Structure 1
Amino acid sequence: MKRSIGVVEDDPNIRDIVKAYLDKEGYHVEALNSAERAWEFFEQSPPDLWVLDIMLPGMDGYEFCKRIRQTSEVPIIIISAKDDEVDKILGLELGGDDYLTKPFSPRELVARVKRQLKRWTVMKPEEEETSDMIIEAGHLSLNETERSAYFKGEEVEVTTKEYDLLKILARKENRAYSREELLIKVWGEDYFGSDRAVDDLVKRLRKKMKDLPLETVWGHGYRLRAHRDNS
């Protein structure tokens, strides 16, 4: 069965080139010029992966990425002319799995598409096996079915990456993870950005859950301390 890919790009030249290269690899490609049209496509026939431009007319790529992540975990590769680290971190924090700066090689994009689809194929069975699980760690509770987080009985709104980080730490309380480990586990082996992304996630989670025993292991990374009552 052909894998389907949604390409969201308002520049017709880039859109046509990307479509041509992905078509050649045997994918079924739906090329769209706006996030609004892409959302309609998603509701009718969700693809296996998105290639998403950020600077779009109307709804931008950041907002589209947020909306997709509310209901789907399929890979999203962001393509953008913005190459500042803060833009990359924002795109990844909102749910992007990879970030490619324009101008880029179409062959490199194809290679990244293949890697993300392979990673998704490996991860999906594991997610399905644990989809009905409730993960509990002290006052923290994670509902895998809803991908929702609760702290001290109150639901806390978290992003996709924040949830992924919490899940990793909650499954193995007291286990210290290095920043590099967390980068790979949350963003994937193909992420080459700064480990500051992990620090930013932790900072936001501490702000949202003030008594969460998410501890810094100096010179190494982070851990979720077990059996600590902060009520």
Structure 2
Amino acid sequence: MKRTIGVVEDDPNIRDIVKAYLDKEGYEVKTLNTAEKAWDFFQTSPPDLWVLDIMLPGMDGYEFCKKIRQTSEVPIIIISAKDEEVDKILGLELGGDDYLTKPFSPRELVARVKRQLKRWSVMQTDTQEDMEEIKSGDLVLNETERSAYFQGMEVEVTTKEYELLKILAQHENKAYSREELLVKVWGDDYFGSDRAVDDLVKRLRKKMKELPLETVWGHGYRLRGSRS
């Protein structure tokens, strides 16, 4: 069965090059030049992966990524002319799974598409095999819904925030380094800064003020649990 890739890019030259390379790999490619058109496409025929430009007319890529993440965890590879670390972190925190800076090699993009689709397949299989609920103190993660509850109240979390909580909750009191968490949440092919982990932790602490998510100075983080 052919995988479908949605390419959202307003530059026709980049759009055509990306489509040509993905076509050659046997993917079904749908190209769109605005996020609004991409959203309409998502509502009727959601693809297996998005290649998403940030600088778009109308709704930008950040907003589109955020909207997608409200209902879907489909992989999103962000492509952008913005090379600042803060832009990369923002894109990843809003739900992007990978980030490529323009100009980029089409072959590298294809390789990342393959890795993300493989990782997505593994995640789906693991989710089916996992227990329905993961509990750690007042934190409850529902694997079926991919939702988080703290002190009995549902807390809205992003895909990456959920993944971090899941790792820490499944291994209460274990101290993970930032590098370990970066690999586990973003994958071993992500070469961004470990500041992305700090940003995730900061967001979670803001959303769940009494969550015992502790800093292990000079190392990383752990979730203090009932077995401490």
TM class, shorter-length: over 0.9
How far apart are residue 128 of structure 1 and its match? 2.1
Q: Distance in 2 between matches of 1:11 and 1:119?
A: 28
Query: Residue 147 of structure 2 contacts residue 154 of structure 2 at CA under 8 Å; is this kept in 1?
Result: yes
What SS class does the counterpart of residue 163 from structure 1 fall into? helix
Match of 1:197? 196
Match of 2:112? 112
Indicate the larger mover: 39-48 or 86-95: 39-48
Q: Which runs of 5+ in 2 are unaligned?
A: none
Match of 2:216? 217
Give the TM-score taking structure 1 as reference length: 0.95
1:86 and 2:80 equivalent?
no
Q: Distance in 1 between matches of 2:18 and 2:161?
A: 31
How far apart are residue 55 of structure 1 and its match? 0.7
Question: Which residue identity is paired with 2:72?
Answer: S
How far apart are residue 228 of structure 1 and its match? 8.2
Residues 99-143 of structure 1 deviation map (CA, whole Å, 9 limit, x = unaligned): 00001111111111111111112221111223x712111011112
Give the TM-score taking structure 2 as reference length: 0.96
Q: Distance in 2 between matches of 1:218 and 1:78?
A: 32
How far apart are residue 152 of structure 1 and its match? 1.0
Query: Residue 34 of structure 1 contacts residue 56 of structure 1 at CA under 8 Å; is this kept in 2?
Result: yes
Query: Residue 172 of structure 2 contacts residue 227 of structure 2 at CA under 8 Å; is this kept in 1?
Result: no
Question: Which residue identity is paired with 1:148?
Answer: S
Please identify runs of 4+ aligned residues in structure 1 that moved more than 2 A: none
What SS class does the counterpart of residue 50 from structure 1 fall into? strand
Match of 1:177? 176
Q: Which runs of 5+ in 1 are unaligned?
A: none
Match of 1:14? 14
Residues 20-68 of structure 1 deviation map (CA, whole Å, 9 limit, x = unaligned): 1110111110011111111111111111111000111111111111111
Query: Residue 53 of structure 1 contacts residue 78 of structure 1 at CA under 8 Å; is this kept in 2?
Result: yes
Q: Distance in 2 between matches of 1:155 and 1:123?
A: 23
Indicate the larger mover: 3-12 or 111-120: 111-120
Identity %, equivalent residues: 84
Query: Residue 52 of structure 1 contacts residue 76 of structure 1 at CA under 8 Å; is this kept in 2?
Result: yes
Match of 1:206? 205
Question: Which residue identity is paired with 1:17?
Answer: I
Match of 1:157? 156
Match of 1:45? 45
Query: Residue 206 of structure 1 contacts residue 212 of structure 1 at CA under 8 Å; is this kept in 2?
Result: yes
Residues 143-167 of structure 1 deviation map (CA, whole Å, 9 limit, x = unaligned): 2222221111122222221111111
Match of 1:75? 75
What SS class does the counterpart of residue 120 from structure 1 fall into? helix
Question: Which residue identity is paired with 2:90?
Answer: L
Question: Which residue identity is paired with 2:76?
Answer: I
Indicate the larger mover: 93-102 or 111-120: 111-120
Match of 2:143? 144
Q: Distance in 2 between matches of 1:76 and 1:108?
A: 15
Query: Residue 5 of structure 1 contacts residue 47 of structure 1 at CA under 8 Å; is this kept in 2?
Result: yes
